[in-house]
A and B are shown apart, each in its own frame.
Chain A
Amino acid sequence: MELADQIAQYLVSGLSTGAIYALIGIGFAIIYNSTDIINFAQGELVMLGGMFTLFSLNVLHLPLPLAILFAVAAATAVGVLFERLTIRPLKSPTPLALIIITIGGSILIRGITMMIGGKDTHAIPAFSGSEPILIGTATILPQHLWIFALTALAITANKLFFEYTITGKAMRACAVNRRAAGLVGIDVKRMVLFSFAISSALGSLAGIIVAPLTMTSYDVGIMLGLKGFCAAIIGGLSGGIGTVLGGLLLGVLESLGAGLISSGYKDAIAFIILLLILFIRPQGLFTKAQTERV
């Protein structure tokens, strides 16, 4: 294999992993943009997507499309319940308290899943076969195309929702200034609940669609969540193209780093990028400082 061919494969592999990170990153961004919370339980919702699909396939014996719907519904219910039981009752919702709550929540969700579902890793069948597709000399799997398509769909729908619907605008208003939003008659608590519902649905959908590639177990959420968070940070926590570019960039750098430098430093590369961006450009790579997000 010539070097050029190798680099082509690194790029393709990087883009396909990057799309996964991007999809998960958008979930972080949505909650952040309407509530100012970084929801560290987002990774667990990704995990729940995969685990609920597995449950409905193997225990309820549903066909795949129904299993996916069931899994998204169930994970969304968990997300909503999570908001109701932990975020809403808080008397003085300081960002620090909220973040710590989401971390606690993620450990709880992971623990319960382990108790009920066991510690084994499980495979989920690919949506449309696993015959590799050739792109030049590089190969990807049909499942990667599903991921690309879903990511594109998710950011478009997201953009439309936040720009052009009343609810979307109301949610953005809550992020800009909670009190002011409340004063003009926006039901802030409802908007927070909405944002949790949307990001849970999106997170679980991401979990479902990546599960045939990454397999699923109670603890896949940790690493996927962290990588998604990196993607969101690189993209300046924007709910749109920024996070997607962030995810793709992260995926490509990881893959090139593993291929051209050393695979031992693959994860280190991701987290060094994260730290550098937090130090140098905390507003993200693609946004100007202090501009409106979304």
Chain B
Amino acid sequence: MHRLVHATSAPAGSALFQARTTIHGVAAICDALGGLYLPESRTLVVSDLHLEKGSAFARRGMMLPPYDTIATLSILEAVIARHQPATVISLGDNFHDRTGSAAMPENFRQMICSMAQGREWIWINGNHDPDGAQGLPGASMDEIRHAGLVFRHEPARLDGVGEIAGHLHPSATVRRRERSVRRPCFATDGKRLLMPAFGVTTGGLDLRHRAMNGLFDRQHLVAHMMGRDRIYSVRFANLLG
């Protein structure tokens, strides 16, 4: 749970903590806590929070710990506190299933309300939660154009230029000395960017998986991998050493 530990303890603004990049000409900062910050428009993007995943599983008979929502929201609080964005965009699969937002306990609702105070908040609909967020501040929509970019949950197959998307939970594997390390990552080729999943109990899909085929210009693809307390930027071609 080092992300949560660092969210609550690490000093802000350490140079390694984040990596700078440019998507379709827009400057962006990949934050090691899993958020993407666009300084020009003061926008913070997070994706695939999968809130209330524990209770979604419990409903189906798998009693996962009921602490995932609080943990994810605590990290979100930390990353918001660090960047003080004017706009927050949550890129879909905000809740693990349709009933998630309506059934969410009151204390979590309160946390989100205070985070949203004084900011614009956009819920992009995902495949897990296509009906939008119920009873929460902010607007729900399928996609939005903002600050020269387009934000949607699932990456578009045909035209991805200037797109920020989530859905695929990209992760990358670095291999050195016959050992491998796998971490969630921001994946970008300079034209579009795929967000890592922000929720604490979300898995990842390797960049080499065929679901990723055709999304990037692999020549220019860089994985900004989320390390313990910093971002490690590795070119796609160099991932496997």
Question: Do the two chains bind?
Answer: no
